[in-house]
Amino acid sequence: MILPRTILFGKDAMDQLYATMLPQMKGKGTDALLFLPPFVQAQRIDEKITDVLRAIGMRTEIVAYDEGEPEVSYLDALVQQHQHQSYDLIIAIGGGSIIDLAKAYSLCVENSVSCTELLSKNSIRERKNHFICIPTTAGTGSEATSISIMKENGIKRAISASCFIPDTVVLDPIFLAQASFDVKFFPLVDAASHALESLLSNRSNEISEWYAVDALSRIIENEQYYLSTLQDKGDVANKIQIAAFHAGVAFEMTGVHVIHSFAYALCEQIPLRHGHAISIAFGPILEYLLSARGKEIPAFARYEYLIKRVAAFLDKHEAEIYDIPENIRNIQLLAERVLGNERLMKNSPMRFELQEMIHIAKMMYERIASKQK
Ligand SMILES: [Fe+2]
């Protein structure tokens, strides 16, 4: 297990970054690159970082990226644009997409390769720059994993490298203070799926189980307050940020499987954000496991009380999850794509038959169709 060397968390985490962490970069380089979305720029966080870095003799360049799963072609163009440049410090502020983009970018520029080459050469896995991740959503856990997900011709491709684990992670609830329901809910379900799939994975162990159960318990205990419009001084949001981070640590050790495989296959047929696709897949899979084969998995039987609470949480939000304009176009193809994702399904605690996948896909189809009536 590899963890980030430094984790700053709590309501003053960004202040700690400005006052302590960034000044420690003095003498460790001259150039920094900052990945961030426009809404973070609007909060002038880039200016604060640039000011601190300027004071220690570092110049800063900015890549403003509008959230959305990064395309290989976008990264290739960016690497081409920066081909004679090198950076000593890379900071990614944003959701999982920006963090994944920064991870893949740092590997490409350090090794002078395009992302296309990176996807075909498994041996390139080195990074010398200092990498800071500041997630603005609580969900993907990308700040804790060695995976970067990129899109190539509509298909998700995973790049794996242990050097993707950041040197520093900052979990400050300030980014969630004004977040909308959707910005909180769908990443939260993604985090719950990381924890649950890790718990059930055939690679689960005592340590990953601790992180997974802690993440699920924190999510179940805090989801109602977190998603409500009640005033949160940051305490509840920070608990959820820690839950998402712990779910990421658990998933890093064990991988994910059937829920994520369904979500990826769904995205090939319906244009959905990752967290939304996970939300659509999650409930029917849990319902199937609770009614049929879940008891074959020892961890499922051990934590059935917790899994039932996750299922109830998803049921409560059925209206938000299944109210989408399009439905699954080809159920058979969807089921085949789920089973065909060997990278993920190798972590599954049991072997599923095609008919079972078709049955689950039909449950998803019917839930979407019922909201379209
Ligand atoms: Fe995920």
pLDDT tens across 111-150, in order?
A: 888 888 888 776 667 788 999 999 999 999 999 999 999 9
Mean pLDDT of 205-228: 97
Token digits of residue 316: 């409560």
Share of the chain above pLDDT 70, in %: 99
Using the mean position of ligand 1's atoms as its centre, give its distance from the Cα of residue 21 in Å.
Answer: 29
Range with the lowest mean pLDDT among 66-75, 264-273, 303-312, 330-339? 66-75
Please check the confidence at residue 108 and state whether its pLDDT lies above 70: yes
Share of the chain above pLDDT 90, in %: 81
pLDDT in tens, 5-52: 999 999 999 999 999 999 999 999 999 999 999 989 999 999 999 999
Q: What are the sequence ranges of the domains in the chain? A: 6-175, 179-372
What does the alpha-carbon distance between residue 223 and residue 55 come to, in Å, rounded to a whole number? 41
The helix (H) or strand (E) run that includes residue 60 is: strand 59-64
Token digits of residue 160: 């794996």
Q: Which residue has the tokens 């078709």?
A: 358
Which CATH number describes the domain made up of 6-175?
Answer: 3.40.50.1970
What is the overall mean pLDDT for the chain? Answer: 93
267, 250 Cβ separation under 8 angstroms: no
DSSP 188-215: HHHHHHHHHHHHHSTT--HHHHHHHHHH
Using the mean position of ligand 1's atoms as its centre, give its distance from the Cα of residue 248 in Å.
Answer: 9
Which CATH number describes the domain made up of 179-372?
Answer: 1.20.1090.10
pLDDT given for residue 123 in this prediction: 64
Using the mean position of ligand 1's atoms as its centre, give its distance from the Cα of residue 317 in Å.
Answer: 18
What does the alpha-carbon distance between residue 283 and residue 308 come to, in Å, rounded to a whole number? 11
pLDDT given for residue 355 in this prediction: 97
Using the mean position of ligand 1's atoms as its centre, give its distance from the Cα of residue 19 in Å.
Answer: 33
What does the alpha-carbon distance between residue 337 and residue 318 come to, in Å, rounded to a whole number? 25
Using the mean position of ligand 1's atoms as its centre, give its distance from the Cα of residue 278 in Å.
Answer: 7
